[in-house]
Every structure is written in C-alpha cells, then in structure tokens.
Amino acid sequence: MRETSSLTLVGKALSHPLRERMLWMLGEGERCGCEFAPELGVDPSIVSRYLGILERAGLLTSRREGVRVMWQLADPQLLDVLEQLGELTKEKVA
C-alpha cells in the first residue's frame, strides 16, 4: 500500500457489504446511529467503526443530538451515482 487518494478511501469504505447496506439505509433519510446495530445484527462498536469509515471517506456526515448521533448521506445524489456505478460494472451477459 502506498498512498491513499480520496477515491481509494471511498473504495475502501464501499468494500464491505454491511457498510454498503448502511448507505442504502440512509437513502431513506437521517438516522440515529443506534438504529443500525439491531437492524444489521452486529455489535454497536462495529456500527460505530463503520460509520467512522464512511464518514472519513466523505460519504456521510453526522450531528449530535443529545445522547444520540444522527447520520445522513454527505450528498443526496450519492446513491444515484453509486447506482450508476453498479450499472456500468454489471456484466452484459449474453
């Protein structure tokens, strides 16, 4: 591993099925971090780590609201772009 460009960071963040799923969950709107663990069936510590990875990649932003941290997509267009990326890389099977 040499350096880490921004797209590389985004790639790393997307490199995990649960993190990808978390992005889609946020497509429906802002969420409290505490909602992910039960829905994904993982420990809250993992959720916190994943959210941090997605945030540092520039995919998410957050704001604190009392004891909770609310998360949202960094940009509303984000899922559209990711969907396009999915389409363009889908094999055109015969």
Q: Which residues sit at the interface with a second copy, rule CB under 8 A?
A: 1-8, 10-18, 20, 57-59, 74-75, 77-78, 81-82, 84-86, 88-91
What's the Cα-to-Cα distance from 49 to each of 4, 5, 18, 92, rounded to whole Å? 19, 20, 12, 36
Among a second copy, DNA, none, the one that 59 touches (CB under a kind-dependent 5 to 8 A) is a second copy
How many Cα atoms occupy the beta-carbon half-sphere of 44 within 13 Å?
6
Can residue 68 be called a binding residue for DNA (CB under 7 A)? yes
Q: Which is nearer to DNA, 32 or 81 (CB)?
A: 32
Q: How far is the CB of 80 from a second copy (least distance, A)?
A: 9
* Count of residues of this chain found to bind DNA when the rule CB under 7 A is applied: 26
Tokens of 18: 């649960």
Strand partners, 68: 65
How many Å apart are CA 51 and CA 71, to the nearest integer?
A: 8
Tokens of 3: 């350096």
Applying CB under 7 A, the residues found at the interface with DNA are: 1-2, 12, 15-16, 18, 32-34, 42-49, 51-53, 62, 64, 66-69
